[in-house]
Amino acid sequence: MMAHVLYITYDGLLEPLGQSQVFQYLKKLSNSHKITLVSYEKAQDWADITKRKNLEKSVKDVGIRWVSLRYHKSPTALATSYDLLRGLFVCTYLSIRYRIQIVHARSYVPSVLALALKRIFKKRFIFDMRGFWADERIDGGHWLPNSRIYRVAKWFEKQFLTHADVVVSLTHAGISAMQQFPYLKNSLPQFEVITTCTNLTLFRPMPNTVRNSEQSFTIGYVGTTVNWYLFDPVVECFKILLRIRPHTRFLIINREEHEYIQERLNAYGIPKEQVEIRAAEYSDVPKLMSQMDATIFFIKPVFSKRSSAPTKLGEFLGCGIPCLTNAGVGDVKEIINSENVGVIVEDFSQETLEPALTRLLNLVADLSTRERCIKAAQNRFSLDDGVKKYDQIYQSLSE
């Protein structure tokens, strides 16, 4: 049965996250359902006219109706309130005009709109939570603990969890945590686990890739280095690797934090000639990943991360690249250990990191590791599997 779905995301479709975790799903779902997409675009992304026009064409070609609103950043509370007010008018019109049946909200801010549409128009509501967002704001240093804005966000979280028709979690660990919430113990919502899937047609080993050369061994890093990501231990790992393999190269793919990255590299005395920092479009990332032999990334092992599934994990594994990362983040430890596609550390001391790096090097040297990584990506992060699960949810809610 074809459903009429309004999909709302506070992330821009022009951002890498919008490309990987919104459009990749929706263009496949649009084969079976009528999709209207509302996104909030940042000014700097919208100003790239060529990129915008290309994306507009791609969206139109697959039959998705895209309504783009401007994103406002500060002051935080007022800016978000303004965005929500404007979004409510737009989404109300779209709901009536296109006979929307299901409102699919990606994360918390769009869920405020979805909750309103459910109460006013009796629309079905999918809370695609993407993580414990309010707690992430604390852990990322954006909000103060017990602040008014945090308490308001947690109140809304309770409303989303108790009123949603389906709650989508990225991890089993996140569901386990929510099952302990006192207000859910006697009335659990319908939970579904759909992790951050990967387009394995795009993120795959590149042909003619030369690896395992002592002279060209490359450690890779992709994405942000701030907030709940821990970059200093990554730099410490690279410093240790330089003692083990002096010709090791560090390739960093990052959009906006180059100055901070260079500052941290300088603080650890990392030679500039062995580091390359690049900005890249989403479509170019797999080609750059093909230059990497392994990756290292660490995330704060805090409560909010129990419901997180790093997008980059599936992308690296899809490209056949083993990972060194830490425990305490969603289902990452279980995936890495059970699939034997990387190394997990419990802390970031030098006594822990040195043997972990030795194990990582051994994995890279094992010729079967690459195939295990690819197989793990297919088993755990397949975009087609994720699309199938969303399709089943849409079908069930449109009956």
Residues 51 and 164 placed together within one structural domain of the fold: yes
Residues 42 and 143 placed together within one structural domain of the fold: yes
89 φ, ψ (degrees, to nearest 5): -60, -45
Residues 33 and 172 placed together within one structural domain of the fold: yes
Rounded Cα distance, 101 and 150, in Å: 31
- pLDDT band for 15, please (50, 70, 90 cuts): very high
- pLDDT band for 75, please (50, 70, 90 cuts): confident
Instruction: Report the pLDDT value the prediction gives residue 215, as an integer from 0 to 100.
Output: 53
User: What residues make up the domain containing 264?
Assistant: 214-380
pLDDT at 292 over 70: yes
Give bridge partners of residue 192 from the DSSP assignment: 168
381 φ, ψ (degrees, to nearest 5): -130, 20
DSSP for 268-317 reads TT--GGGEEEE---GGGHHHHHTT-SEEE--B---GGGGG---HHHHHHH
Give domain status of residue 178, yes or no. yes
* Tokens 């649009």 -> residue: 30
Q: Provide the domain count of the chain.
A: 2
pLDDT at 79 over 90: yes
Average of per-residue pLDDT across 356-370: 97
Residues 55 and 177 placed together within one structural domain of the fold: yes
- pLDDT band for 208, please (50, 70, 90 cuts): low
> Pick the residue with more confidence: 282 or 126?
126
Instruction: Report the pLDDT value the prediction gives residue 313, as an integer from 0 to 100.
Output: 96
Average of per-residue pLDDT across 308-333: 96
Instruction: Report the pLDDT value the prediction gives residue 227, as an integer from 0 to 100.
Output: 82
Give domain status of residue 373, yes or no. yes
**For residues 30 and 126, is the Cβ–Cβ distance under 8 A?**
no
Average of per-residue pLDDT across 368-374: 97
Residues 81 and 223 placed together within one structural domain of the fold: no
Amino acid at position 225, single letter: T
pLDDT at 209 over 60: no
Residues 167 and 33 placed together within one structural domain of the fold: yes
**For residues 208 and 284, is the Cβ–Cβ distance under 8 A?**
no
Of 374, 196, 221, 224, the residue nearest 289 (C-alpha): 221
Instruction: Report the pLDDT value the prediction gives residue 178, as an integer from 0 to 100.
Output: 96
Cα angle value 191/26/295 (rounded, 5°):
80
Q: Which residue stretches of 65-171 are H helix?
A: 76-97, 108-121, 133-139, 148-163
Give domain status of residue 314, yes or no. yes
Cis peptide leading into residue 233 (ω within 30°): no
Residues 46 and 144 placed together within one structural domain of the fold: yes
The CATH number of the domain holding residue 20 is: 3.40.50.2000
Average of per-residue pLDDT across 22-50: 96
102 φ, ψ (degrees, to nearest 5): -125, 130
Give domain status of residue 204, yes or no. no
What is the pTM for the complete model shown?
Answer: 0.86
Instruction: Report the pLDDT value the prediction gives residue 16, as an integer from 0 to 100.
Output: 84
74 φ, ψ (degrees, to nearest 5): -140, 155
Residues 257 and 332 placed together within one structural domain of the fold: yes
What percent of the chain clears pLDDT 90, i.e. is strictly above it?
A: 87
Q: Hey, what's the torsion of the CAs at 287, 247, 238, 369, to 10 degrees?
A: 50
Give domain status of residue 289, yes or no. yes
- pLDDT band for 17, please (50, 70, 90 cuts): confident
SS3 102: strand
Of 100, 107, 104, 190, the residue nearest 156 (C-alpha): 107
Give domain status of residue 206, yes or no. no
Residues 165 and 52 placed together within one structural domain of the fold: yes
Give domain status of residue 321, yes or no. yes
Residues 177 and 244 placed together within one structural domain of the fold: no
Residues 228 and 307 placed together within one structural domain of the fold: yes
Average of per-residue pLDDT across 39-49: 96
Residues 312 and 355 placed together within one structural domain of the fold: yes
